A and B are shown apart, each in its own frame.
Chain A
């Protein structure tokens, strides 16, 4: 039962704050809409493409583990 409650938490907002970057700016850099960045930040998505993840990590100069957490 405990395993079912575990989920992937998106901590993109934390990393954006650390890099002092706005969602709009990130969206422009990685080529997706601001609305999709907001959805990603709120975790209201079913998945994230490796392509998008690569671009985010490149722009924010971080590792996937810095924006995704399993708990």
Chain B
């Protein structure tokens, strides 16, 4: 259904795309800049820097594993950019809208659920070059406030997507009643 074109969405679409790209770029930058790699390694692995030595190979592995999680969020951002693009074109009740909302919700849910997996794998990758007895794996299912919000918003968006699908069907049906 065509309604008014949103000028704000015209700006939001490229900004969101840029954020999606920036996520991957910043993550890469952090892993490959020696000064910043320590902080990002602690953040992802949850293991103190004294337990491992950062080498180009384990940094590469760390980047690869964290990129998996970051890519999911980046995909979600691109989906949101696509929604903004539809709004900018005046398309508010398209069939694809509910699917896009659901896809964004799923990407947030996966991002959230991947956290313990990424933490465990990053820890393993960083300490893999240590002697056998000093290799570490850190698994935490603890979820902080931000993580909880992301998880809840993800689940909520999946349900909102279903509601929008029904609303779109009703709007379509209503447009055929004169």
Contact = CB atoms under 8 A, between A and B. Distances in A.
Interface stretch (B76-84, B94-102, B170-178): B170-178
Contacts of B176: 45-47
Contacts of A48: 177-178
A36 B176 CA distance: 9
Contacts of A49: 177-178
A52 B176 CA distance: 13
A70 B176 CA distance: 20
Contacts of B177: 45-49
B172 to A, nearest CB: 9
Range class of the B interface residue count: under 10
Contacts of B173: 46
A39 interface: yes
A68 interface: no
Interface in B137-153: none
11 contacts: A36-B178, A40-B178, A45-B176, A45-B178, A46-B173, A46-B176, A46-B177, A47-B176, A47-B178, A48-B178, A52-B178
Nearest to A47: B177
Interface in A16-69: 32, 36, 39-40, 45-49, 52
The 4 nearest A-B residue pairs measured at CB: A47-B177, A46-B176, A36-B178, A45-B178
Nearest to A56: B178
A36 B178 CA distance: 7
Contacts of A39: 178
Given A40-B178, A52-B178, 16 more contacts: A32-B178, A36-B178, A39-B178, A45-B176, A45-B177, A45-B178, A46-B173, A46-B176, A46-B177, A47-B176, A47-B177, A47-B178, A48-B177, A48-B178, A49-B177, A49-B178
Contacts of A36: 178
A6 B176 CA distance: 20
